[in-house]
Chain A
């Protein structure tokens, strides 16, 4: 179907314009943030010691708990390509990756009619407003691999919804391999392709799906035989109203980890559609019990309830029909990715792990808003008016959440710049300061780059910003 035109311009172009206006300011924020210290500096130093990408790949394959060689290879490749401009390489890559994700997201919507523009704007707002998106912006290790996984999954969505071609099968398999060897969450590419195939999108053939399934089996075989799985003491995790450190988790669940694992899966599954719990902690529920309701959490939960309600009714409508419905693949993909991401969170709860499910939630919001707008033509006036109110209130709330990403990026930049200020004395006190002069020079350069960046002090921002958007 050819694209409709608005003021002589195809609506698809308008959709990409909306995407660009959404993504560019956030990419600009990323370019104002220093390279991260925690979970990143060690990786950069390792990259500076690496002897070629192939050696790096094989060394990273044999790890005690994880199979993420492509992750390490990327960090090393960017380090080599930086030629001394490390901030530009890592933050530039982060910003470029964000633009790619928003472009792939918009492409997956396949906006062709004027009526699709409103759902597309809604989807983009939810994409950048959901709490799982903040981890894709605030953190980088020094690459944000969760943003990469979202990109891989969106590549899969785009491949699946197109016409079947052999090159698409090959591209889907390559995408799966790259994603699975970057992070465990890369297996979501397979989940996406299966869900899309079941929903009727056949851009990736059954043959390719079978090959991908064999690769998934091979992946698990590798995990069991070569690397092993994360243990209870891998890292801290939320549990109802508190955050447990590894030693506390071991003391509480060392004999029987299953209640903890079941909690992690359930909490993670709830976190995307309801914005609570976050990081495994029911913070809003605890705040209510203390009589101190944070405005930001209230907005987040209210808007999530509204859009999840829209998705739920759309899902019932579209999945109960025997004929194909354009909303069905989006809803099925979201459900499958949400469930799979929740299962992957069995060892610990972390919003990052659910970030791709957050992206798929935004796809489902797009599809369900379009579904509701299509239905609105046959609704009675009161029902239609109620729908207008729900969409307008949800749109307003999600817009407020989306603006918060700029505030959160700035907060992260302030914290990171401070981390750099204290870094040399901290590492010297911990006897981690490197002996090699080249590594010392590298640390000094990264620190100088970070300190030279103009980052505002949060002291001068209005206090309501932290209340609405958090820190």
Chain B
């Protein structure tokens, strides 16, 4: 096999290795590409079926009955909503239960 033919075969594998080196470097500087979460309000977490984030925010003392801003598309036609409204609009019964357990009533 000629040198350039070997290079052609190496190319995708070298690309993968370079990508993994980038992942390592990005992790070292605290911005791992696959693992950087988008900050969410409690209502957004409820709308985006993120039970883990809902539970985490509730555990930190976030008010389950307050109204929070929601990004476009999270709750149809709304720019803010209560977590319960967001979970009900998304049809997430398990998150509704989680919120009610934490004292959400509206």
Contact = CB atoms under 8 A, between A and B. Distances in A.
Contacts of B51: 417-418, 421-422
B17 A384 contact: no
A406 interface: yes
Interface string B1-32: 10001101111111111011101100100001
A457 B11 CA distance: 32
B63 to A, nearest CB: 18
A467 interface: no
A398 B52 CA distance: 33
Nearest to A418: B51
- A387, A409, A410, A418: which has the most chain B beta carbons within 10 Å? A418
B13 A122 contact: yes
A213 to B, nearest CB: 40
Contacts of B10: 118, 121
Contact of B94 (A395, A422, A456): A422
A451 B23 contact: no
A388 B5 CA distance: 6
B56 interface: yes
Most A-side CB within 10 Å, residue of B9, B11, B55, B56: B9
B24 A21 contact: yes
Q: Interface of chain B, helix or strand or loop or mixed? A: helix
Contacts of A28: 23-24, 27, 32
A414 B16 contact: no
A419 B32 CA distance: 24
B38 A456 contact: yes
B13 A451 contact: no
Nearest to B52: A417
B80 interface: no
A92 to B, nearest CB: 16
A396 interface: yes
Contacts of B56: 451-452
Which of B20, B32, B49, B50 has the most CB atoms of chain A within a 10 A radius of its CB? B20
Contacts of A32: 32, 35
A118 B6 contact: yes
A118 B13 contact: yes
B50 to A, nearest CB: 5
A305 B18 CA distance: 26
A425 B20 CA distance: 40
A418 B50 contact: yes
20 contacts: A25-B24, A28-B23, A29-B34, A118-B9, A121-B10, A125-B16, A388-B8, A395-B11, A399-B12, A403-B19, A406-B34, A418-B50, A421-B52, A421-B54, A425-B101, A451-B59, A452-B56, A455-B52, A457-B37, A457-B53
A25 B59 contact: no
B28 to A, nearest CB: 10
A470 interface: no
Contacts of B66: none
Nearest to A28: B27
Contacts of B14: 121
A406 B34 CA distance: 7
Interface string B35-48: 11110100001001
A392 B34 contact: no
A422 B8 CA distance: 50
Given A418-B50, A451-B56, A22 B20 contact: yes
B105 interface: no
Contact of A392 (B12, B27, B32, B53): B12
Interface in B54-82: 54-56, 59
B98 A457 contact: no
A121 B9 CA distance: 11
Contact of B15 (A22, A385, A399): A399
Most A Cβ at <10 Å: residue of B8, B52, B56, B59: B52
B89 interface: no
Interface string A373-405: 100110000001101100110011011001100
A245 to B, nearest CB: 22
B101 to A, nearest CB: 6
Given A421-B55, A457-B48, A457-B50, A384 B23 contact: no
A407 B34 contact: yes
